[in-house]
Chains A and B, each alone.
Chain A
Amino acid sequence: MIELLDSSHKDAVKHLFSSPRYMGLDYKKDLFLEADAEFMKIAYDGFCDTYLSNLSNFKAYGNIDAGVVTSYIAFYESTESAEWFWTQIRSKDRMSIPDILDTVISYNEKHGRYKFYSMFSARYARTYRRLTFSKDVSERYDFFDEFIVPAKTKCFYQVPWQVLFNRTLVPVDSIVRCTFLKQKYREILPIGGGL
């Protein structure tokens, strides 16, 4: 069952933070972390304080099976323009991801956001949609790759640097992609103004 996650899911999501892999690399072997950094604990605490603490613009939907969150997608709803940012994905159940993404996209479409940005390792540029998109979303949404950020360098652009990269240098080349609802499916334009 797919649900909006909140503080009651803190324990149910914790097991997803046990993988030694980050952006396709083994963080203990390949990453440039300080020796004393408890990488996964920081990631888990950061996730709970950002996505499970009732903030208005940071949310996560997850698939829950027997009380355990098997996968989640986290996102940021922009207040500056009509878009959202796919900020995190963690999974031990790949099959549930397209359904979670359907839910996240549906939520954002209802709130007038018909496009989103995501960041991923350049290695996955070709497989990213195939692995995560449902047939319906694949048909309705198109994309373009906006820029690539070389490994261990800082992104020029402020919002993706803050929201997608979480102000962190990433150890692999990464692509920032814009995925958008095709014009033919934009039957009702969202309201963009008011008093």
Chain B
Amino acid sequence: MTTNFTNNNHLSYSIGNQEFGYRSNGFEKFTVKVGSIDKDHYNSSSYVRELHRTADLVYNEFGKEMIVFLSGGTDSEIVVRNFLDIGIKPECVAIRFKDDYNLPDILEAVEIAKELDLKLHIIDFDVKDFYYSGQAIDFGKEIQCTQVTYLMVYHNILKMGRPAVMGGEALMTRGISPQGTNWYYTFRENEDASAMRFSLKYNLPLVNEWFSYTPELLLYYLEDVEIQKLVAEKYNYKLSSVSTKNGILRRLYPSIRPKIKTHGFERLLGFNYEAYKGIGANQIKRLEPSLDGIPMQQILLMLRGEHD
């Protein structure tokens, strides 16, 4: 292991019994685990202080060569502000799609960079050509990923050859099935785990789980009164709704800019689905039903150190 994806790699996944591994058949179990908090530290720190600690830990490991992906969204804005809060001016990168699919987000990223006086590199990228040329299919096969937009980011990190922070989010999903519903902390084999496979394969340090970087940071978020209220209330989709999540983050970290909901990338849903199927056609299809994450009650116990 050459890099910390999270602090001391407290967050990890296994396929079969192989940590940070690859799938060799459709039936190996995918499991995710998280570490536990230092209780004294947890009682004396706070969400914002943990964000600053994360920035400090990552910068100490990645150094000046580090780049931060600035999508224009709330999560990546928080990441760059965390670095600024500890006195580091990160170099930022944004990927602009051909045909302006993400133009509103790019304009927001430019505004953030201007307001914070940050250097922003804008990479123009034709995601359709990336897929139809076969590059995404070949690349996806190497790291077992079928999501074309994730592959696009990895492809650009590889070209730059520098340690990178993608940000990510502490994603919560409400799983639904005929048997009932339950909330779970989401860590997906295809997307989130592929970032780790990519990093290890190409020996490029990468952080894709900023908001889970320390067990303390994740627990502050999951124990937040609004998160707990939303989990308890049976209200569809609210935790994965951008406006709800942004509302919670703005309360926890007030300096972020107000965001309007943008719709550009939703225009690519058809392409994205077709690419997903096309890239996945030559990869091992997962046939076992493990959760892409950890159920809410279980992760709370794990983080608090109360789980077997």
Contacts and interface: CB of A to CB of B under 8 A. Distances in A.
Contacts of A51: 270
A24 interface: no
Given A37-B263, A156-B178, A169 B270 contact: no
A152 B277 CA distance: 27
B270 A162 contact: no
B178 A50 contact: no
Contact of A55 (B243, B267, B274): B274
A79 B281 CA distance: 9
Given A36-B261, A163-B273, A169 B237 contact: yes
Interface string A11-54: 00000000000000000000000101100001001101111010
B268 A49 contact: yes
Interface in A58-112: 58, 79-80
A34 B236 CA distance: 15
Given A42-B263, A49-B268, A167-B269, A80 B277 contact: yes
Report the interface size class on chain A: 20 to 34
Contact of B274 (A56, A156, A166): A56
A6 B278 CA distance: 21
A48 to B, nearest CB: 8
A57 interface: yes
Give the secondary structure class of A's interface: loop
A186 to B, nearest CB: 26
Given A37-B263, A58-B274, A156-B177, A166 B236 contact: no
Contacts of B176: 153-154, 156
Interface string A157-168: 000001100110
Contacts of B278: 56, 79
Nearest to A147: B178
A51 B270 CA distance: 8
A55 B281 contact: no
16 contacts: A36-B260, A42-B266, A45-B263, A45-B267, A49-B101, A49-B268, A49-B270, A50-B267, A50-B270, A51-B270, A56-B274, A57-B277, A79-B278, A80-B277, A154-B236, A154-B237
Interface of B: 101, 176-178, 236-237, 243, 260-261, 263, 266-271, 273-274, 277-278, 281
Given A50-B271, A154-B176, A163-B273, 14 more contacts: A34-B261, A37-B263, A42-B263, A49-B270, A49-B271, A50-B270, A55-B274, A57-B274, A57-B277, A58-B274, A79-B281, A153-B176, A156-B177, A169-B237
